[in-house]
Structure 1
């Protein structure tokens, strides 16, 4: 079974700004109903939902809180319909600034745990809340946002990268368990994006280095990565699950 994008209800976490906002806008462009989730960026999320039209609404919830996520999914069902697609993009507070990162001799477990809570626990909360209605329908699409850094740690962000690697494992195990119910689980992994709030502190020299190292000779944009996310929700990917698609202009060959 597959559904065209314009018949889907898509919940995007961390969608008030940056990559999440680009993903929400991409789905809205294709006619989907879009739930714009936010934790702190309430005003930005409301403004985005208003700009996306009548088939979009903003929903506040901290993905680390299982009860809040369950209530959010219930609210989305009432307002827009049960989510057919979940895109987990939410990111713990973080800045991609290699000069300011915690190195191994100073790294704390709390820093790693913060990313695990948002990335991995958040994904688990979302899957547990949304999967029952997906099973009933015999259709579901779950897309998790990863990183190319666990294949090419050009800057060793230990905390962020470890959590994303764990999320890739969950992607594959969830795909194995949910596949018989018509639910696919995939990951889209970007590199450095030009530009999001998280990458705004990245030195320009790093952007130049990345651009010069890719076959396309440029840095990927949030909009380009968002289009790749659409693939995993579309009928074109109906036979694809448990996969990790690298979207970084060819910096990493997968």
Structure 2
């Protein structure tokens, strides 16, 4: 798999129906890759996106925290495309409100909140990775790409539960890269900050976007399409010698 072009991959994008996930789906499909658009509740958006892409897209509804449902999804993708899933992009998020005023603080943060994020972000990723492993090994390798956040390095807004779960996913990215490297499977993370614009950032005031842009060397806020370009790097043969890494894509705001 080390020199396989994007066009030969079957890629699962969790939470791929809308927001950043939809941009990643479009980017992979634009380079000839076959894509599984996973969704939990956004069925209409998922089917609309698949109609836009055409025969290279498969829509599948599954909660990534349900290990059995994930296994069924991986098997269905292999049967549909006649080839195993060789790329997993772990993008799905549990329900979360990025509300700086309404977030939990140190004195009222609960384990229930932390557990929900850990189960959704880390548990969901573990389920998809484990389900895809047999097919990747049979294919001679694969790509695991986890979506992270620059809040781990620079918690400008202390979203404790969300950030802790993404930090745990970064640790899992690095440890899994050791286990799976001998199988020709790379495991990497792409981390962003505030993106202009997704569902999560739609309510963000222009003044906040402007302040972030002014703080970056590129003087701009990263777009979802720009972020998706970086994900493509880890699908491509150009990343064949890169694993266990965290690529921060935020215009240079955070130096990793």
TM bucket (normalised to shorter chain) is over 0.9
**Distance between the aligned counterparts of 1:114 and 1:46, measured in 2?**
28
- 1:121 maps to 123
CA contact (8 A) 1:15 1:38 kept: yes
**Distance between the aligned counterparts of 1:193 and 1:94, measured in 2?**
16
**Distance between the aligned counterparts of 1:200 and 1:113, measured in 2?**
26
Deviations 1:125-172 (A, max 9, x none): 011100111112211000000000010011111011000000000000
CA contact (8 A) 2:187 2:244 kept: yes
Alignment of 1:96-111 (within 5 A): 96-111=98-113
**Distance between the aligned counterparts of 1:180 and 1:73, measured in 2?**
22
- 1:170 maps to 172
**Distance between the aligned counterparts of 2:194 and 2:7, measured in 1?**
30
Moved over 3 A (4+): none
SS of residue in 2 equivalent to 1:26: helix
**Distance between the aligned counterparts of 1:45 and 1:154, measured in 2?**
32
CA contact (8 A) 2:6 2:33 kept: yes
Alignment: residue pair count: 254
**Deviation at residue 97 of structure 1 after TM alignment:** 2.1
- 1:15 maps to 16
Q: RMSD between aligned alpha carbons?
A: 0.9
**Distance between the aligned counterparts of 1:173 and 1:39, measured in 2?**
28
**Distance between the aligned counterparts of 2:77 and 2:50, measured in 1?**
13
**Distance between the aligned counterparts of 1:219 and 1:103, measured in 2?**
27
Alignment equivalent of 2:206, drawn from 204, 207, 212: 204
**Distance between the aligned counterparts of 1:173 and 1:225, measured in 2?**
24
Q: Structure 1 regions of 5+ residues with no counterpart?
A: none
CA contact (8 A) 2:84 2:139 kept: no
CA contact (8 A) 1:95 1:199 kept: no
**What's the TM-score, normalizing by structure 1?**
0.98
**Distance between the aligned counterparts of 1:54 and 1:30, measured in 2?**
14
- 1:242 maps to 244
SS of residue in 1 equivalent to 2:167: helix
CA contact (8 A) 1:147 1:191 kept: yes
Alignment of 1:69-80 (within 5 A): 69-80=70-81
SS of residue in 2 equivalent to 1:36: strand
Deviations 1:62-101 (A, max 9, x none): 0000000000000111112311100000011122221121
- 2:51 maps to 50
**Distance between the aligned counterparts of 1:203 and 1:115, measured in 2?**
26
**Distance between the aligned counterparts of 2:128 and 2:32, measured in 1?**
23
**What's the TM-score, normalizing by structure 2?**
0.97
CA contact (8 A) 1:144 1:187 kept: yes
